[in-house]
Chains A and B, each alone.
Chain A
Amino acid sequence: MRFTYAVPAGLLAASILFTGCASNNNDSNTSNNNSTNAANSTAATNTAAATTADFTSAVDQYRTYVIEQCDEFVKQTENFTNAVKEAKIEEAKALYAPARMYYERIEPIAEALGDLDPNIDARENDVEAAEWRGFHKLEKALWQDNTTKDMTEFADQLLKDAQLLRAKVEIVEIDANLLVTGAVELLNEVSSSKVTGEEERYSHTDLYDFVANVEGAQKIYELLKPELAKKDAELEKTIGERFAALQAELAPFKSGDGYVSYEELKEEDVRKLSQNLDALAEPLSNMGTILGV
């Protein structure tokens, strides 16, 4: 499910460079389904009311983490888009996947910010052809068409979107509920698009995204761990073990500073990764136990 956060318009207008793209005031573009579940859509507003423990520190630390990732994301995206604009194809290819990892680690936050996720991360067919922009548009040009022709505009736009994301995370509402659901959401991202090799269909760099999603979920788990250990030590231990098992399953596919092409994985490798992911996501989805009733 996706969260819709009402970010006060005044705040945004003050700090944001509009990119001139039509903003259609709803985020039905974020693919999947918009939750109509009342229990979830109130998550943004009533936080402390529904919880017994104090998550102030976890939330603050998470915001710090998100901002760190975002800062790095903007920097790396700039290097990448510069390479595209200078028609340095090989350099752009090398910068592409590592830059995306900073985004993938905090994906649920981006998804909570309206149109930003589709603008940055939509795959072909996720949106109307005329609206398609962002990383995957450039990915297709680089890997499939082997050119940067006509991509300057999209490169500029992508950098602006990355900067916009960075501006918005300052004021995005974060609460314990978002942390819990965000962690599961990150693993669901892996399950639904990375495992299948659909995310990086031209570059086959899916493992970078896979690992980053898992790292993002693990960060949240680490932040909630003390509270979880108090509430359900067994669950906390299980989640820790399952993270370790998944990391061990991913380890053989490391290559230098990065990861092997997804095409190198055998069917059986993919299935095992997917099964380990499901085995982790199941207990992780019970982290909500710390939210009290």
Chain B
Amino acid sequence: MKKQNRFTGLPANADSTPLNEDTKSNHILDKKLSRRDMLRLTGATSLGLLLGGGGVGGIMATRNTAAEPTIASDGDSIPFYGSHQAGILTPAQNFIYFAAFDLTTTKLADVKKLMQAWTTAAASLTTGSLIGDVNDNPNLPPSDTGEVDGLNPSRCTLTFGIGPSFFDNRFGLSSKRPTLLADLPAFTGDNLDPKWCGGDICVQACADDLQVAFHAIRNLARIARGTAVLRWTQEGFQRTGAADPKGATPRNLLGFKDGTGNPDTTNEAEMNNVVWNSSSDGPSWMSGGTYMAVRRVRFRIEVWDRSSLSDQEATFGRYRHNGAPIGAKDEFDDLNLKAADASGKPVIPPDSHSALAHGDGTVKMLRRSYSISSGLDIATGQLDAGLLFISFQRDLMKQFVAIQQRLSKSDRLNEYMTHTGSAVFACFPGIRKGGYIGEALLG
């Protein structure tokens, strides 16, 4: 049976019809519309838009909304407040602008102030309103940088986390560090450059418009001046909703579908098992939060492009065209790692990427990666392109590290890629209205 509702990142505005004038003017008036009003105004074509997308059809989307109220949305604004942070189960938007910050202050009070200021700003950024209240004083620089004035929120989400370095002795918080939050061990073949590693704080901005995502990080960085500085950033993309109205599993830059094996984000029990921390996992301030692994992966695409199709498919353990496991018919067919050909050879190579990542199928994580392209590697004239791998999990060691150790040792794909950046973050639980990011930790 074809499983539905994979984590495919169906864009909300799956039909390519632009919002009609009625809707636009209502955005401008910033009038809260009931779902019924919206339906009446926009017609059924925008159903996906109204329901926050995520499924492969209206019915699935409805289930999505019922199961996970935090990703219900009016128009294309995804609620910032909720029991979990948005941008984790949220179907992947078209673009990401990822930023790691280092704190320059040594005062905990300043960190708290920053988080409060960021909370206020994030609430504006995710609803598409201007930041701050100094936007028309001729004697002062405007508090909002202005480049998204008049644009839709574009399903902007902002996801905040803190790295292991946050718990060193600067702020007297070392006793509060969750044991589950520690720098990753070195993996075979790592080629890490410090300029894409670590960070005291991360902000993952995702949106269906790159300008919206960039604007968010730019303004948060501006607000942080004097308290925190950018350490590294990486923008990323995937195919847009306009290019793929059906919302199929996105392909990575090696041409293969990426995310087929993801757990079902609409299954609450599964998400509690795979993604969300409970009070038994560690400190109470992380209850409802999750751990993020970020890896900047450089693909050797010129080398990859010289490989035969059968080599490429043996490397992934799947067919390129439809993403089905080798020997199977459909993308979502189970990986049958026991299947052998007439000569007794496994149909799916045991050292293929899918086989190793799947293992015995008991360990899962929620992947939410984006393609990246950062110009040329000047030394070689080759494209600096690849993947900003992002995964969310309850336990970094048991999930991400366990899988990555298998992969780094024997994955066939290692011939075609190298990990150049790495960081881990504890992503806070959701923010309640009136509260602020990290409140349970910072008090």
Contacts and interface: CB of A to CB of B under 8 A. Distances in A.
A291 B104 CA distance: 31
Interface in B212-244: 222, 225-226, 229
B379 to A, nearest CB: 18
A275 B141 contact: no
B140 A275 contact: no
A293 B226 contact: no
B138 interface: yes
Contacts of A286: 140-141
A283 B226 contact: yes
Interface residues of B, number: 10
A293 B139 contact: yes
Contact of B139 (A280, A283, A291): A291
Nearest to A274: B229
A242 interface: yes
A282 B225 contact: yes
B186 to A, nearest CB: 24
B137 interface: yes
B140 A289 contact: yes
Contacts of B137: 288-289, 293
A289 B139 contact: yes
B138 A278 contact: no
A238 B139 contact: no
A79 interface: no
Nearest to B137: A293
Interface string B132-162: 0000011111000000000000000000000
A285 interface: yes
Nearest to A292: B139
Contacts of A242: 226
B222 A288 contact: no
A180 B141 CA distance: 12
Contacts of A177: 139
Nearest to B138: A39
Contact of B141 (A39, A245, A285, A291): A285
A69 to B, nearest CB: 26
Contacts of B226: 238, 242, 245, 279-280, 282-283
A278 B139 contact: no
Contacts of B229: 275, 279
Nearest to B227: A279
Interface of A: 39, 50, 177, 180, 238, 242, 245, 275, 278-280, 282-283, 285-286, 288-289, 291-293
Given A50-B139, A282-B222, 8 more contacts: A39-B138, A275-B229, A278-B225, A279-B104, A283-B226, A285-B140, A292-B139, A293-B139
Interface of B: 104, 137-141, 222, 225-226, 229
Of all A-B residue pairs in the complex, the 6 with the closest CB atoms, nearest first, are: A288-B139, A279-B226, A291-B139, A282-B225, A279-B225, A288-B140
8 contacts: A180-B139, A238-B226, A275-B104, A278-B225, A280-B226, A288-B137, A288-B139, A289-B139
